Amino acid sequence: MHRFALIAAASFYAVPAIASETTFQQVKIDAGETLFEAECRRCHAVDATGDSYGPPLENIVGRGAGTYENYDYSIALEASGIVWTEAALRAWMEDNAGFMPGTKMRHVGIADRTVQDFILAYLVSITTQDNSAISE
Ligand code: HEC
């Protein structure tokens, strides 16, 4: 009886812990989407169907820089040879012109790590393709 109570108690606590982690992740994605709408959406669609002045950002995490088909990139970006890892995306959001001199993306300058975290969570959520082959 005693042992049963212990197991019951353990599983009772396990469930809310998992649920809150999922909730936390969803809250980050939702906040990231709102921030993306405010900071990035006027130039970037998230798939090929939306109007996009800059390259659409679908599957951006792990994507090779300058590889969106038929987009007219700057020479700097196209020749950079980098892959959009989370670290590279942070550096880009923080100071894109400093990170890659010659880019034609207007400077954004998001230095707040929390804001970067949220936008990254959203960018991960719109990355549905496995890009690991090129990010290695
Ligand atoms: C004023 C318009 C504008 C805004 C705002 C903007 N971008 Fe860009 N972005 C561009 C342009 C233009 C390019 C192409 C740059 C080049 O070719 O040098 C670009 C390129 C990029 C790339 C490289 C994509 C690739 O295919 O290699 C990423 C990643 C990116 N932007 C992310 C963001 C994020 C995240 C935000 C918001 C925090 C943002 N951008 C805000 C215009 C913008």
What torsion, rounded to 10 degrees, do the Cα atoms 53, 100, 108, 59 define? 50
| This model's pTM is above 0.85 | yes
* Cα 31 to middle of ligand 1, angstroms: 19
Q: Which tens digit of pLDDT belongs to each residue from 47-89?
A: 888 889 999 999 999 999 999 999 999 999 999 999 999 999 9
Angle at CA of residue 42, ends 97 and 121, nearest 5°: 75
Distance 18 CA to ligand 1 centre (A): 35
Query: Does the pLDDT of residue 14 top 70, yes or no?
Result: no
Instruction: Say if residue 45's pLDDT is above 80.
Output: yes
Delineate the domains of the chain, giving CATH numbers in brackets: 2-135 (1.10.760.10)
Cα(53) to centroid of ligand 1, in Å? 9
Q: Is 52 in the pocket of ligand 1 (CB under 6 A)?
A: no
pLDDT given at position 18: 66
Instruction: Give the relative orientation of helices 113-125 and 2-39 as an angle to the nearest 10 degrees.
Output: 100
Report the pLDDT value the prediction gives residue 117, as an integer from 0 to 100: 97
Alpha helices in the chain (DSSP H): 2-39, 75-78, 86-99, 113-125, 132-135
Mean pLDDT, rounded, for 88-110: 95
At 127 the pLDDT is 94
Nearest ligand 1 atom to the CA of 64 is 27
Average pLDDT in the 3-28 region? 69
